[in-house]
Amino acid sequence: MGKHEKDKKRVKEQRDSRPNDKSTDAGGGHHAAKAHGKPATVDASLPASREELTRLHAEARRRRAAAPYNSPEHHAAIDEIGRIEVRIADVERAMTPPRG
């Protein structure tokens, strides 16, 4: 039996020795994927043109870089970058034909 086979056997034995009731799991184990945070909302007040959005994104990145770290201006630029990126994704999603 090779080194890795021993590790696999040990892990399987540990897994098999656990109770099947996952409600007692303290959070360290595997869990089904869940949504994290809140879903993104598309800001329709932003332009619908990818070129304009790209230009706005570059301006917001420049403002973020110029603002003092952790300042209100820095945070505002970060928020704006996020809103622009969500809008760009929305525009690109509309451009891509549906699959299937």
Whether residue 20 lies inside any domain: the answer is no
Whether residue 91 lies inside any domain: the answer is yes
Residue 71 in this model has a pLDDT that exceeds 90? yes
Whether residue 26 lies inside any domain: the answer is no
Whether residue 34 lies inside any domain: the answer is no
Whether residue 17 lies inside any domain: the answer is no
Whether residue 100 lies inside any domain: the answer is yes
- Counting other chains too, the contacts that 31-39 makes at CB distance below 8 Å and 24 or more residues apart are none
Q: How many domains does the chain have?
A: 1
Whether residue 25 lies inside any domain: the answer is no
Quote the CA–CA distance of 94 and 53 in Å, as a whole number: 15
Q: Write the CA distances from 43 to 25, 65, 83, 86, 90, integer angstroms.
A: 40, 23, 7, 8, 10
- pLDDT per position as a tens digit, 23-67: 554 556 666 767 677 888 999 999 999 999 999 999 999 999 999
Q: Which domain holds residue 92?
A: 40-100
Q: Is 22 within 8 Å of 29 (Cβ atoms)?
A: yes
Whether residue 94 lies inside any domain: the answer is yes
